[in-house]
Amino acid sequence: MAAHWVFRLKGVGKTWSAPDKAFQLWVPRLNIRAGAQIAVLGRSGCGKSTLLDILAMTLEPDACESFSFTPQEHEGVDIGKVWGKRRLNRLSGLRGRHIGYVLQTGGLLPFLSVRDNIELPRQVCGMPRNDATEMLAERLNISDQLDKLPAALSVGQRQRVAVARALAHEPSVILADEPTASLDPHTAGEVMELVAKLAAQRNITLVVASHDWQGMTDLGMVRLQHEQVEGTGKLRSVFHT
């Protein structure tokens, strides 16, 4: 059986211009196999978030030779083309259905209870209610918090809720941007371990951006190659497999 690649990127980049120096994220080649667990490691500011945003289709790359997203084995989508045609709703649809994104700061809606926050992605996809919320809450140890508003939770609890929300609609990919940055080392390890475990059980492709070198390798995640290339007036941050 041929390998099923969820993401296939070739020559994808995004440049941020600053007055003194431009910064470019550059991905010469990146293929991510379905079910893989990838760690994007690097110091903060090296473009990890940018890479994840491009994968999440929330940021348009300004260079894109080819970028295909294949959530299920048969339906590959040329994301570069969809961006080019400004079909943002198509991207929203793909994202809503197939991607769970754990933001660095949770990104929970402050006006919804924890339960409603977790169930929202399922509702967006038109999926029926089930006991997934309770199960996830139990696994993530937030069962007692379901009826509270996010503001009443600790940062660590909120981050667990964000993880639950990213998993609730049974996505094929989870992208997590420094999901444990605001947690203490012990909780961070716990949460990260849970994410990896839940993803593995459900055969979900997992891409985590982190500056925690040790934690990720301990979990047995595959590290993405990264190097910084100093050019003329330009700092190039290169990620590749």
Is 130 one of the binding residues for other proteins (CB under 8 A)? no
Least distance (Å) between residue 17 CB and other proteins:
15
Pairing of strands 225-231, 234-240: antiparallel
Least distance (Å) between residue 14 CB and other proteins:
10
Which residues, in sequence order, are CB contacts of 23 under 8 Å at separation 6+? Answer: 15, 16, 17, 47, 234, 235, 237
Q: Which stretch binds other proteins (CB under 8 A): 21-29, 37-45, 121-129, 223-231?
A: 121-129
Q: Which stretch binds other proteins (CB under 8 A): 2-10, 23-31, 107-115, 128-136?
A: 107-115
Is 96 one of the binding residues for other proteins (CB under 8 A)? yes
Is 15 one of the binding residues for other proteins (CB under 8 A)? no
Taking CA 19 as the corner, what is the angle to CA 16 and CA 43, rounded to the nearest 5 degrees?
50
**CA-to-CA distance for 135 and 212, rounded, in angstroms?**
28
Least distance (Å) between residue 183 CB and other proteins:
19
Please identify, using beta-carbon distances, which residue of 57 and 142 lies nearer to other proteins.
57
Residue 9 main-chain phi, psi, to 5 deg:
-120, 140
**CA-to-CA distance for 67 and 29, rounded, in angstroms?**
10
Q: Which stretch binds other proteins (CB under 8 A): 102-110, 128-136, 186-194, 207-215?
A: 102-110
Buried b (16+ CB within 10 A) or exposed e, 144-182: ebbeebbeebeebbbbbbbbbbbbbbbbbbbbbbbbbbe
Neighbours of 111 (CB within 10 A): 10
Number of residues that bind other proteins (CB under 8 A): 28
Angle between helix 155-168 and 114-124 (nearest 10): 20
Please identify, using beta-carbon distances, which residue of 120 and 135 lies nearer to other proteins.
120
Is 112 one of the binding residues for other proteins (CB under 8 A)? yes
Least distance (Å) between residue 189 CB and other proteins:
26
Residues that bind other proteins (CB under 8 A): 49, 53, 56, 58-60, 88-89, 92-93, 95-97, 101, 103, 107-112, 120-121, 123-126, 149
